[in-house]
Amino acid sequence: MTIAVDFDGTIVEHKYPAIGKEKPFAIDTLKQLADEGNKLILWTSRDGELLEEALDFCHKRGLDFYGVNSNQPVGSLFEGRQGSTSVKVVADVYIDDKNLGGLPEWGTIYEMITGLREKRHKKRRKGFFGKLFR
């Protein structure tokens, strides 16, 4: 799955432009999701030096992202330039403190994402070939 995750108010407490304290279990949960094969995209309004500070903050804690404000991998020739002025990142899940209902605890977020992945996997198995190979 592709997971877009906000920084301020989601990974860290909202103290923009400063970096707030890490939200409990945010980094560990995101590292676990990445280890399980999910593509993590940092999806933030930070740019320039403020973005570099956020990326450095995460990197020092062992969290690196597949993409940054882009569906292109970090370091690709097309990173941030997809032939469009749109800044929309396409993801299966968006994690943001501005969600309707607010940001759940990170344990709940993990359970929701792994539940979605399992549900998708089961749904695929119910197709024509899934019925053949039960």
Task: Tell me the pLDDT tens digit for each residue of 11-65.
Answer: 999 999 999 999 999 999 999 999 999 999 999 999 999 999 999 999 999 999 9
Which residues are paired to 2 by β-bridges? 39
Residue 99 has pLDDT above 50, yes or no: yes
Q: Which fold has domain 2-132?
A: Rossmann fold (3.40.50)
Compute the distance between CA of residue 80 and CA of residue 76 in angstroms, rounded to an integer: 9
Contact indicator for 33, 110 with CB cutoff of 8 Å = yes
The fraction of the chain above a pLDDT of 90, given in percent, is: 69
Report if pTM > 0.75.
yes
